[in-house]
Structure 1
């Protein structure tokens, strides 16, 4: 039996309808009938009992289905795995996350990517240089905040968009508010991470002034996120953050107050220029197709 003959037979054995089988296999109904007739001539007996109202497997057809289906599934699986391996899709895709909590927020995408033969390994990017592991080849892709304008990196699809909040100490006057504005940043010291990043990256509005031109005071920088939050809790200053921080870093000494007028922030998939592996391309295609 040819592969296509087996496929037609098994599809008809499942559908028990010549028209639906033809639609499923994208062939004509006559092609299905001809294939089954040829098989029945070869076996010398009917595989299906037909009437004007129904199609049913004969005992011989049922036995052939039971014998063929598991073997055919194994063959199809082996072929699919060989194709995937040939294209470099099998195996582990290491992805660094600037904020590990984002991995939870995009879990549906990661689950859609995973198969029995391929997986995503979530890594935490270096807090002081989020590009380091990507540039060193330790990971194949990075999920980081936009904007990214690095000549050696490619920016792929956005994976998550979320509002901004302002982290303040619970005793801070802002902690009693329902919201804050960007202009409020001029009323305190703004803390940030100690990251060797270009000027375009995630500082308050350049050149450290509010939209109305009021100067913003830079505070000290911090090597870890927990140190940054500890400084906020101690009243050293305030810090604008992506909104998911309110869920992932809740502590009794820090309040996360929503911004009323700050633009949302976006997280995107980034990879090395010229280094888009088949796995990275597959994940990026899934992300681009997601609603």
Structure 2
């Protein structure tokens, strides 16, 4: 028979093939993994690892033990995780929204990890339009959402920032700013903005589509759009410029527009929100995973 600490030490060393890394991964004292493996080999009467000053490698017997033991141990861990999840209420269905494609990528990646960790809980993912950023959640369609901050709503909880993105200014390809390496916030007073409209709080609009520069110079708003695709079309038509995350260029680049980085604008922060009465075990578990894997 193998004790639990022997199984964990063997499997970890077999994966790391490095005593120090295996020891650090297990959070053990220096030399503990080496001692455990030596005791295990003596008891089994076989050598599991070849050790030299430069490398650690599995012996044929060690490889056979790993191939047989690793899948069984994973099944045990999964069974324990399912039991804990069931006891904590991580079951049922979790509905998660996102408001941009790059936020959607993070949500979908987290959903894959979540399903593997909590197989008794389904995850449904949907896009939320910026024109109505809180509507689906208030309608009871979502339990959790990854969205642009700031969010200051009495019925919603704004969790910690998950990641942030540098800002850029989307300009028409023939605009003078299109030939620059960067722009500054004061430059907004020399052009006009295409802004989002809809059921959007004023504080959110003022933050992302300001009416004046940091020095107090007025910024003209020339057009508004309900959907993001409209913003891109209006900018391409020369109706104005629009702030956005710089990463949007990777997803929404198209003829007629150029993404010019800001050199002095704060980044756009993305965080999780959920209903004030909805801080469930499912929400907590997904938030933890997303925080771990987010860029």
- Structure 1: gaps of 5 or more residues: 16-23, 27-49, 59-66
* Counterpart Cα distance in 2 of 1:154 and 1:9: 41
If you compute each CA radius of gyration, which structure gives the higher value, 1 or 2? Answer: 1
* Counterpart Cα distance in 1 of 2:181 and 2:275: 41
- Whether 1:88 aligns to 2:76 is no
- Whether 1:247 aligns to 2:256 is no
The aligned counterpart of 1:55 is 43
Contact 1:96 1:143 in 2 (8 A): yes
- Whether 1:262 aligns to 2:250 is no
* Counterpart Cα distance in 2 of 1:205 and 1:12: 50
Map Cα deviations across residues 102-153 of structure 1 (whole Å, 9 max, x no partner).
Answer: 2225665444434161454321003311111111111111111111100101
Structure 1 pair 232–79 and aligned structure 2 pair: CA distance change class (3 A): same
- Structure 2: gaps of 5 or more residues: 12-25, 29-38, 47-67
Structure 1 pair 260–106 and aligned structure 2 pair: CA distance change class (3 A): farther
Paired residues, number: 250
The aligned counterpart of 1:217 is 220
Aligned pairs for 1:192-207 within 5 A:
192-203=195-206
* Counterpart Cα distance in 1 of 2:107 and 2:278: 23
Partner secondary structure for residue 231 of structure 1: helix
The aligned counterpart of 2:169 is 166
TM norm structure 2: 0.72
Partner secondary structure for residue 184 of structure 1: helix
Considering only aligned residues, what root-mean-square deviation do their CA atoms show, in Å? Answer: 3.6
Partner secondary structure for residue 209 of structure 1: coil
The aligned counterpart of 1:104 is 105
- Whether 1:144 aligns to 2:147 is yes
Deviation at 1:244, TM superposition (A): 1.4
Range moving further from structure 2, 93-102 or 239-248: 93-102
